[in-house]
Amino acid sequence: MVVDDTGSMYGMDYEALMTADSEDALYSEVNPGGSVDMRVPFLVGEDTRITQAHMTGVWDGGQFVVVDFDEAV
């Protein structure tokens, strides 16, 4: 479950594959405190589907602590 800064909650589609660009993944490993971009399908609300959302996660100790939704297709 992801909660944005407005308090809206988003449920992740766990059957979908989460992928990250290899350069972003490498950057996050060698530079904790940096950022990584991912593309992952999300289910939003009831009977509403965003097929792909762009989010940025702040890397800290191997966990995402901040998630910002920039765009949805």
- Mean local confidence (pLDDT), 49-62: 51
In terms of pLDDT, which residue wins out, 17 or 46? 46
Region 40-47 average pLDDT: 51
Strands 35-44 and 2-3: unpaired
**Domain, as residue range, for 40:** 2-72
What pLDDT shows up at residue 26? Answer: 38
How many domains would you assign to the chain? 1
Write down the number of H helices and E strands in the chain: 1, 6
